[in-house]
Structure 1
Amino acid sequence: MFSVIIPVYNKYPHLDRSITSVLKQKFEEWELLLVDDGSTDGSLEKARSYSDKRIKVFQRNEPGPGGYAARNLGIAKAKYNWVVFLDADDEWLDNHLVTFFELISYQPNAKIVSSSWKDNFEDNKEERSFPNSYHKKHQAKGIHEIELKAFLKNSIYGAPPFWTGAVGFRKDLLLEIGGFPEGRCKRGGDVDTWLRAIFYGKLAIWSPKLTVVYHRDSVNMVTKVEGFEVGCEATTVKQLASLTEDKQIIRLLFQFLNARVVSRWLQTLRVGKKTQPLWGKVKWKYLTKKGFAITFWSILPTAITKQLYRLASKAKYD
């Protein structure tokens, strides 16, 4: 039923947690594909230490940015018709796969399934968990369908309905869209894939059940170590916009791209990396009021920009 893919690159401290969360699933018809991306910290040996016959370990010699190449290898090796993902530093609750099975039974025509997740923050003093923004806004609807326009609108205002560990796809859809953008970008490849999937797959089904924990404390998080770049979504948005005559979809696509660029700029600012002015990197015609304000901030001295960011930390672009 489900092929579970976990890309692994130097995640030794977290690997037991993620693998164990798959082993504890109430729904038992699955295979787990662990794709090591050239780890040097013992992660490969840890992956090979599990004796469950449903677990398969594959090895790549060179790490690929974002784990995109590792996921694509997993997709190629997957034997089931539904493919789901989990990052090596996150975990599922035991109801995750059974929730996906229920969604597929509820809407057999959907090629994308998604559940809700909670963001978990840990520091030396305390651990804090919060449901994601889409869950907060839409949980009262219960199970519901999501089409392209709804995906774009919610993503623009900081409430995307999909996230890597909480989304699943028909394998044929992933193959149709070319999988993850390995070799095309260092960051943003997950979102780029979700965008192409909902554009071509047309329909997703979403459950308000919280089934995944997104750990924000993990080692080697891409958002912690990378600097600012526009990302591969820019090329994808332009390509998709050229394939439709729907003016609302075109507008939403470019608003989505602006939101992604601004969000990435804010992430770069937050982790203390050097930022660049956003002039020329956003489409002025499609900026929201918040996007325009942040674009203006980007030309100010860094010290002032950081202070403004603290004051506006609740803005839904981030």
Structure 2
Amino acid sequence: MEPSICVVIPSHNCLDYLPRALNSVWKQSLPAREIWVIDDGSDDGTTEWLQTQKMIHPKLNSLRLEGVGCSAARNAAIALTQCDWIAFLDADDTWHPDKLRSQWQVLVNRPDAALCFTNYMHINPEGEQIIDCFSFWPEFQRYLPLLPNYVAPQQLLAENVIGTSTVMARRQAIEEAGGFDTRLASASDWELWLKIAKAYPTIALPDCQCDYLMRPGSISMARLKRLNAMTEILNRHQPDFHKHPAAIHSALARINLGYAEWYQEQREFGRALVFQLKALWNRYDNRGVKRAGRLMIQMVSSRP
């Protein structure tokens, strides 16, 4: 019996990458039942290209929206499918051939679980590997010998290890959580995973089953919007984790460090130092002390 899996791909002007993403879906050793590509206001020929692809691939569906953003685009696809499970893929990422199969084999034996994610590899535009996600997060290392196993929701609060393109989630659980919050300017995926993880068991798989493209020319202001959104999300969920203060402090440290790095890039060294000290207050580490020292030197040196 074919698994009831729907693949959801939001795309905005990603025709340079979308064919490769879809090709990784067609090459899955375990096929999905249907695929929805949400063309979110593209003007690069995506709409026309999708029409030709739909004649080749009967499982492919598309919907044209007008710049509603990733969260609303994903919600639209979820509302259109009747599949039991949703697998998310960003238009510039690709799956390894056994990605869906590896998750399905685990989930059929864990009927209480509603969310499963895998490790993934950061790659540059030349296809060269940079670092896998799980190795990037130091506290998550203690989970690795236990995987595949359930991951506690407080760990997902402390470290946002979930890559959206690695997620397979139960549609019912997504709907119960209200889907992706379109009011958030960014990081709505992190909040949705937190909501589901608080209600259902979550499983992590240690193998890299996805390649995440590190595209050049990231917009600095988008990073600030994400940090602001993460702060709002943490404020929303912090009361539910009052029994796990270490997780809250880790999340605060991560956000404050992000602000410190952003302000340092803007050459606002005084504000960067404030956030670096906040990060140290939340979670002490020797590298943070060294960063604070360098910021103090930069702040003094930049004065007229």
What TM-score, normalized by structure 2, do the two folds share? 0.81
1:40-51 alignment, distance < 5 Å: 40-50=43-53, 51=55
Is the 8 Å Cα contact of residues 84 and 170 (structure 2) preserved in structure 1?
Answer: yes
| Residue deviations 1:29-48 (CA, integer Å, cap 9, x gap) | 42111001101111222222
Q: Which residue pairs with 2:105 in the alignment?
A: 102
Deviation at 1:79, TM superposition (A): 1.6
1:96-142 deviations in Å (ceiling 9; x for gaps)? 1101111212311111111121111245xx82343223599354434
Q: Tell me the distance in 2 between the aligned counterparts of 1:29 and 1:45.
A: 23
Which residues of 2 match residues 205-224 of structure 1 at below 5 A?
205-217=203-215
Residue type of the partner of 2:164? T
User: Which residue number in structure 2 is paired with residue 180 of structure 1?
Assistant: 180
Q: State the match for 2:168 in structure 1.
A: 168
CA contact (8 A) 1:237 1:254 kept: no
Q: Name the structure 1 match of 2:89.
A: 86
For the 8 Å contact 2:86–2:171, the answer to whether it is kept is: yes
Query: Which runs of 5 or more residues in structure 2 are unaligned?
Result: none
Out of 18-27 and 255-264, give the one that drifted further: 255-264
1:60 — aligned with what? 65
Verify: 1:226 aligned to 2:229, yes or no: no
- Return closer, same or farther for 1:211/1:303 CA change in 2, 3 Å cut-off: farther
Q: Contact conserved, 1:116 with 1:135, CA < 8 A, in 2?
A: no
Q: Report what 1:145 is aligned to.
A: 150
Q: Call closer, same or farther: CA 1:57–1:195 in 2, change over 3 Å.
A: same
Q: Deviations over 1:227-252 (max 9, x none)?
A: 5243223233222223x3x6432452
Does residue 133 (structure 1) correspond to residue 130 (structure 2)? The answer is no
Equivalent residue letter for 2:61 = K
CA contact (8 A) 1:116 1:209 kept: yes
- Residues 292 and 130 from structure 1, CA distance in 2 versus in 1: closer, same or farther, beyond 3 angstroms? closer
1:298 deviates by 6.1
SS in 1 for 2:67: coil
Q: Is the 8 A contact 2:249 2:283 kept in 1?
A: no
Identify the residue that residue 74 of structure 2 maps to in structure 1: 71
Give, as a single letter, the amino acid of the residue that structure 1 aligns with 2:120.
W
Q: Which amino acid in 2 is paired with 1:99? A: S
More helix by share: 2
Q: Distance in 2 between matches of 1:299 and 1:249?
A: 33
Larger radius of gyration, structure 1 or 2?
Answer: 2
Change (3 A) 1:196 1:232: farther
Per-residue displacement from partner, 1:69-107 (whole Å, max 9, x unpaired)? 111111211221111110000100110110111121231
272-281 vs 209-218, which moves further:
272-281
> Is the 1:227–1:274 Cα contact (8 Å) retained in structure 2?
no
Q: Counterpart amino acid of 2:6?
A: S
Q: Which amino acid aligns with 2:202?
A: A
Partner of 1:117: 120
Q: Distance in 2 between matches of 1:227 and 1:149?
A: 24
Instruction: Report the alpha carbon displacement of residue 17 of structure 1 after superposing the two structures with TM.
Output: 0.2
Using the alignment, how far apart are the partners of 1:90 and 1:304 within structure 2? 42
41-50 or 6-15, larger mean C-alpha shift? 41-50
1:217-256 matched pairs, under 5 angstroms:
217=215, 226-229=222-225, 230-242=227-239, 244=240, 247-256=242-251
Could you say what secondary structure the match of 2:9 adopts?
A: strand
Contact 2:280 2:288 in 1 (8 A): no
Q: 1:135 to 1:251 in 2, by over 3 A?
A: closer
The separation in 2 between residues aligned to 1:282 and 1:63, in whole angstroms, is: 38
| CA-to-aligned-CA distance 1:242-264 (integer Å, 9 cap, x gap) | 3x3x6432452353143134236
The answer to whether the 8 Å contact 2:253/2:280 transfers is: no
Residue of structure 1 in register with 2:198 after alignment: 199
Query: Structure 1: how far apart are the matches of 2:85 and 2:29?
Result: 17
Deviations 1:7-26 (Å, cap 9, x if unpaired)?
Answer: 00010110110011101111
Q: Amino acid of the residue matched to residue 37 of structure 1?
A: D
Q: Among all aligned residue pairs of Structure 1 and Structure 2, give the percentage whose two residues are the same amino acid.
A: 18
Give 3-state SS (helix, strand or coil) of 2:173's partner. Answer: helix
